[in-house]
Amino acid sequence: MQLGLGIDTGNTYTDSALVDLANGEILTAAKTPTTPHDLLHGILASIDRGMQGMDPDNVALVAVSTTLATNAIVEGRGSPVALILLGWLPERITTLPPCRLISVEGEFNARGEERRPLNEGQLRRGLQELPSEIEGIAVSGYFSVRNPGHERRTKEIAIGETGLPVVCGHELTCQLGIYERTVTATLNARITPLVTTFLTHVKAAMQERGIEAPLMVMRSDGSLVPEGYARTFPLQTILSGPAASAVGGNRLSGIQDGTIVDIGGTTTDIVSVEDGLPRLDGAGATVGGWKTRVHAVSAWVIGLGGDSHIQLQDHSNTPKFALRPQRVTPLAFGQLGVDFADSPNDPESVEWVHRIKAWAPSGLSANAKALWDLIPPDEGMGLHRLYEQARRHDIYLVERTFAELEARGAVQHIGFTPTDALHVLGQYREGAAEPAHTAAQLLGKRLGLSPRDFALRIVKKFQARLTDEILKKLVADELPGVDYDQNVLWEYLQGPNHLAIDINISLLHPLVGVGAPVNAFLPPVSSALNTRYTELEYGEVGNAVGAISGKIISRIKALVRQQSADRFVVFLPSKRIVLERTDDKRAMAHALHAAEDMARQEAKALGGENIRLKLQKQSYQLGIGEIRVIAIGQPRLASKAQTAVEVH
């Protein structure tokens, strides 16, 4: 028996699924809380729940997807790194991620010919002056995708001088755009230690449970890569979560074309599947406001999830509730004290705060530290009591200061969430029902609604937002760059009263739901969009199933350019081939052969077997040719030759 264990580490939950690799049958599915302060512990718990006592010797493959890298980038976290720029500087340095900059002469032109040689003396001097806290180096050179010579040489010298990990722009993408390549390489260097630590924890957990199988990681394009590759190029995994939703949704539903909606605790990810593969974003993933060149699934990520905070805004005569993008712990799962909801007129009395025990209060403002000190270390306290005491202790801007504690991960905030609304409606049964009912009664009363009507109102609002975002995502796929905030037609179409226009929107492909609360939220959304909804067995662990169902994929693009009557150049990732005394047919044939060869080699190096090649594009006209080849394989399993593969 050959088993595959898929693990998805999300912001809120870590999901696991055990699959019989011979027939694809899903044997177990489990959800455990993600423990950001103690990753190893959370992974062990997830493995144990997933394995359910099965023999670890039967596990032939472990595959993970994780939002760890994304979160770090969104929150601006990363290790101190140096960036070596060759032959180019941005107009303003502040447009780059934080780094220590070394500027060195040396550049190529669009044909990949050297315009200015690499100034190695300058490079060595810059490297020798690096402060000791630098943990990695990124290298980005002008037109390095037309000729990687300078980046390669720089890497060689930098490794020799410093011994630090070095990553080059051309290793991460073959697309033009020096700025985006520079951002990509720098972010990659910044998150390398973080992702390496995570993968070391996973390996340690596997070892502790006696699992000796290859570990693979889901890349942002929905394919699997070996652990070693993910350590070197961690940025390639930034959208591994949404990619896993796409692959899992496709695998569980069998739907070849459709929209997959993954409702998690913190975010909802909307992705499309086309012809059985995730739809990719042509330009590259944008994460945390950074435009990267990472080849990634085209994901629409919104700050709306089962654990989004529902807050009553009680400041005016007509109280309203808002779905904040911030995640809180649902009341159903929180540990609450005796004075929970003891002030019926105070909406903050249905919220509770705990200190995070593993968190050391460093780097806080004096105000925030004073607020933190007011929280009893063990039992926590009601938010209304905390605010009261804070005012008594002259802590100013209390709400903003509390937000600072939340953002720093210093406190656990428990409050009313869509998950609790489902509890009130009897559509969700895990955890404790009582606090959700109490809170719905208190909050509903402020709005003049029964608890049930209050819960219904929240679910409806959630669904309306989902419907809107699904449409936006599908339109954005076809019309990239549409600015909805300034789109008059969109506003109009969404408005309630159209005198002369009747609007019916029908999605051509079905909706598929992945994630725990999807079946409660999505059916009315698909009715509103006039499409079919497919309810999935094991949909709640769709990402973990996606991770273990990933294939090995290598995509190679070759460009052919005529440079004079009988001279052609073929540009491949990391390679430039000059062909003299030839013609267009021979140049294209050469390029095709080289691209196929490279795709097959790469798929093999990425741990694939049974590799199939597919020619996706082959065009030549007037001196310009392009070839796209894709190689798809199955991940090599443990029982076969288990050789470690290094990819560069």
Partner 1 sequence: MALYDDLKTAVIDMEVEKAVELTQKGLDEGKDAEDIMNSALVPAMDVVGEQYDKGEKYVPEMLLSAHAMKAAMGLLRPLLVESGVKMKGKVAIGTVEGDLHDIGQNLVGMMLEGAGFEVINLGAETPAEAFVESVKEKKPDIIGMSALLTTTMLHMPEVIDALKENGLREQVKVMIGGAPVTQEYADEIGADGYAPDAASATKLADRLVQ
Cβ proximity to partner 1: between 115 and 400 the closer is 115
- For the bound state, the minimum distance from the C-beta of residue 220 to partner 1, rounded and expressed in Å, comes to 22
Q: Which of 565, 580, 581, 646 binds partner 1 (CB under 8 A)?
A: 565
Q: How far is the CB of 435 from partner 1 (least distance, A)?
A: 52
Tokens (6 digits) for 157: 């010298």
Question: Which residue, 176 or 493, has its beta carbon nearer to partner 1?
Answer: 176
For residue 182, with 0-12 CB atoms within 10 Å meaning exposed, 13-18 middle and 19 or more buried, which class applies? Answer: buried
Of the candidate spans 3-11, 184-192, 563-571, 598-606, the one that interacts with partner 1 by CB under 8 A turns out to be 563-571
Cα separation of 14 and 347, whole Å? 31
- From the CB of 624, what's the least distance to partner 1, in Å? 6
Chain centroid offset of residue 120 CA? 38
- Rounded alpha-carbon distances, angstroms, from residue 569 to 275, 566, 592: 33, 10, 13
Q: Tell me how far apart the alpha carbons of residues 543 and 226 are, in angstroms, rounded to a whole number.
A: 18
Q: Does residue 179 bind partner 1 (CB under 8 A)? A: yes
Q: Cα(574)–Cα(589) distance, rounded to whole angstroms?
A: 19
| Cα separation, 192 vs 79, whole angstroms | 8
- Find the binder of partner 1 among 621, 643, 644, 646 (CB under 8 A): 621
Question: Which one of 479, 503, 622, 644 is in contact with partner 1 (CB under 8 A)?
Answer: 622
What is the C-alpha to C-alpha distance for residues 169 and 183, in angstroms, rounded to an integer? 9
Residue with smaller CB distance to partner 1, 142 or 428: 142
| DSSP code per residue over 502-529 | ------SS-EEEESTTHHHHHHHHHHHT
Minimum distance, C-beta of residue 94 to partner 1, in the bound complex (Å): 16
Q: Which is nearer to partner 1, 486 or 564 (CB)?
A: 564
Q: Which stretch binds partner 1 (CB under 8 A): 15-23, 172-180, 200-208, 333-341?
A: 172-180
| Closest of 158, 98, 100 to residue 134, by C-alpha | 100
Helix 542-549 × helix 240-253 angle, to 10°: 90
Told to check if 295 binds partner 1 by CB under 8 A, we report no
Nearest approach in angstroms of CB 538 to partner 1 is 43
Place of tokens 């493995």: 47
Question: What does the H/E/C string look like for 25-79?
Answer: CEEEEEEEECCCCCHHHHHHHHHHHHHCCCCHHHEEEEEEEECHHHHHHHCCCCC
DSSP string covering 99-162? -EEEEE--EE-TTS-EEE---HHHHHHHHHT--TT--EEEEEETTTTT--HHHHHHHHHHHHHH
- Cα 405 to Cα 395: distance, rounded to the nearest angstrom: 14
Q: Which two tokens stand for residue 121?
A: 């003396």
Q: How far is the CB of 142 from partner 1 (least distance, A)?
A: 7
In the complex, least distance from residue 516 CB atom to partner 1, rounded to whole angstroms: 41
Q: Which is nearer to partner 1, 41 or 115 (CB)?
A: 115
Supply the minimum distance, in Å, between the C-beta of residue 84 and partner 1. 18
Residue found under tokens 């990681």 = 217
Interface with partner 1 includes 563 (CB under 8 A)?
yes
- What binding mask, one character per residue, do residues 516-555 give for partner 1 by CB under 8 A, x or -? ----------------------------------------
Nearer to partner 1, 183 or 536 (CB): 183
Q: Which three-class secondary structure state does DSSP give residue 272?
A: strand
DSSP secondary structure, 164-226, as one string: --EEEHHHH---S-HHHHHHHHHHHHHHHHHHHHHHHHHHHHHHHTT--S-EEEE-TTSBEEE
Instruction: Please say which residue, 144 or 531, places its beta carbon nearer to partner 1.
Output: 144
Strand 552-564 and strand 277-278: the pairing is unpaired
- H-run or E-run covering 439: helix 434-446
**146 touches partner 1 by CB under 8 A:** yes
Q: How far is the CB of 562 from partner 1 (least distance, A)?
A: 6
Of residues 168, 305, 562, 591, which one binds partner 1 by CB under 8 A? Answer: 562
* Smallest distance from partner 1 to CB 267, Å: 29
Least Å from the CB of residue 647 to partner 1: 26
Answer yes or no whether residue 624 interacts with partner 1 by CB under 8 A: yes
Among 130, 103, 128, CA closest to 118: 103
**Which CB, 178 or 536, lies closer to partner 1?**
178
Cross-strand bridge partners of residue 32: 14
Residues 6-35, mask of contacts with partner 1 (x by CB under 8 A): ------------------------------
Give the 3-state DSSP-derived string for 84-105, with helices as H, strands as E and coil as C. EEECCCCCCHHHCCCCEEEEEC
Nearer to partner 1 by Cβ, of 501 and 622: the residue is 622
Selected binder of partner 1 within 143, 198, 300, 387 (CB under 8 A): 143
Q: Among 180, 469, 540, 596, which residue interacts with partner 1 (rule: CB under 8 A)?
A: 180
Measured from the CB atom, is 409 or 623 closer to partner 1?
A: 623
Q: Can you point out the beta strands (E) in 409-532?
A: 411-415, 511-514
Asked if 164 and 137 touch (Cβ cutoff 8 Å), the reply is yes
Using the rule CB under 8 A, which residue among 623, 639, 640, 648 binds partner 1?
623
Residue ranges in 54-113 that form contacts with partner 1 under rule CB under 8 A: 109-111
Q: Total number of residues binding partner 1 (CB under 8 A)?
A: 21
Minimum CB separation from partner 1 for residue 568, in Å?
10
Residue 626 CB, shortest distance to partner 1, in Å, is 10
Q: Specify the residue, 1 or 176, whose C-beta has the smaller distance to partner 1.
A: 176
Smaller CB separation from partner 1, 182 or 349: 182
In this chain, which stretch among 15-23, 154-162, 482-490, 621-629 interacts with partner 1, using CB under 8 A?
A: 621-629
First to last CA, the chain: 33
From candidates 142, 198, 352, 538, binder to partner 1 by CB under 8 A: 142
DSSP structure class, residue 341: T
Question: In Å, what is the CA distance from 126 to each residue of 32, 121, 132, 249, 296?
Answer: 47, 9, 13, 49, 34
**Which residue number, 210 or 623, has a Cβ lying nearer to partner 1?**
623
Q: Which residues contact 487 (CB under 8 A, 6 or more apart)?
A: none
Q: Which residues contact 341 (CB under 8 A, 6 or more apart)?
A: 349, 350, 435, 438, 439, 442
Q: How far apart are CA 317 and CA 519, in angstroms?
A: 36
CB of 73 to partner 1, least distance (A): 20
Query: Does 564 participate in binding partner 1 (rule CB under 8 A)?
Result: yes
Stretch that binds partner 1, among 42-50, 294-302, 424-432, 558-566 (CB under 8 A): 558-566
Between 25 and 483, whose beta carbon lies closer to partner 1? 483
Taking the complex as a whole, the smallest distance from the CB of residue 561 to partner 1 amounts, in Å, to 7
Q: Which is nearer to partner 1, 97 or 258 (CB)?
A: 97
Residues that bind partner 1 (CB under 8 A): 109-111, 115, 142-143, 146, 176-180, 561-565, 621-624
